[in-house]
Amino acid sequence: MTRSPVQIDWTFDGLWPYQPRYFTTPEGRCAYIDEGPRSTHAVLLLHGNPTWSFLWRHAIAALISAGQRVIAPDLLGFGRSDKPNRLDAYTLERHVARLLALWQALGAQQVSLVVHDWGGPLGLWWLSASHVSLRRLVVCNTFSPVLPGRLGQTPALKLARFVSRSRFVADYLYRRRHLMLRDFLFGGGTAHHTALTAQVRTAYRAPHLHAEDRAGVLAFPLQIPRTTSEPIAQQSADVARELRETLDAVPSLLLWGMKDYLFDATTLDSWIEFLPRASVVRIANASHYVQEDAPQKVAFVIAEAIL
């Protein structure tokens, strides 16, 4: 039986006024927005799981108002990008390869990078592989720069690692139950989840209405390394060593929701050790999805940091 397509107003009553552009990859089409002046410098905003570029809507508006070119991709499997139902399409290496192809096609020569959640390791790996000129770095509630790092101390990530040992359990929780959305983004991952409006919730549900659409959501937690000997952890350490001097030479900002039980204060401390010259903005009454808990403050701080 063929499932009837669901008609979605992707503007969500004006919350998302941007039209997607698309580029083709071996695994499927990827959506992105490219707004503002056609500058050779661009602000690249990278989301994580289970969000999409909609997460950055307030920051995008603030950056455009400040005269910045803004590029915000939807990773494959998220947002308006295609959602192939096979896990090998969603390795970190393949996500990075697609980001490299997108950046090369856009003609930008200098970047200010803003990352959140899985956008953190993806962004650092992409910087290492692209050798693009970096102007600014903004890091929001993401993994320790060297994996697995101190993040292994949080009970939530210990549980995520344990769950991921069983593909059956992981498939049920992340794909069938949609735990990342229902229990994290709409639960403990936001300090003010009851304040999320119906349209905001609709916007986050829209890309993954069916379990078959959630292979990308499932693939990320399956890749969380348990030990430093795993390939992802080794690559993370290599990238961190390679980028340390580069990152230390540019203005950087650590913007953190302090109620995050996934990436708690110990994870922030590991970033401070890695980037000792970085400015730090702690938002006390915000959790993992700091962009939803303190939207106007986050937008203002990011725009100010980029200028």
Residues known to be catalytic: 117, 260, 288
The set of residues, in sequence order, having a beta carbon less than 8 Å from that of 273 and lying 6+ positions away, is none
Phi, psi angle pair for 77, to nearest 5°: 90, 0
Cβ-in-10-Å burial (0-12, 13-18, 19+) of 297 comes to middle
**Ramachandran bin of 143, using left for φ above 0, alpha for ψ from -120 to 50, beta for the remaining angles:** beta
CA pair distance 220, 265, nearest whole angstrom: 22
The set of residues, in sequence order, having a beta carbon less than 8 Å from that of 98 and lying 6+ positions away, is 25, 27, 30, 75, 76
CA pair distance 274, 209, nearest whole angstrom: 39
C-alpha torsion sign, points 66, 135, 119, 302: negative
CA pair distance 278, 36, nearest whole angstrom: 27
> Under a CB-based contact definition with an 8 Å cutoff, are residues 190 and 111 in contact?
no
* Residues 291/297/299/301 CA torsion (nearest 10 deg): -120
- The DSSP bridge partners found for residue 42 are 111
The full DSSP string for 270-297 is HHHHHSTT-EEEEETT--S-HHHHSHHH
Nearest Cα to 57, choosing from 72, 74, 69? 72
> Under a CB-based contact definition with an 8 Å cutoff, are residues 220 and 118 in contact?
yes
Token pair of 137 as six digits: 């770095």
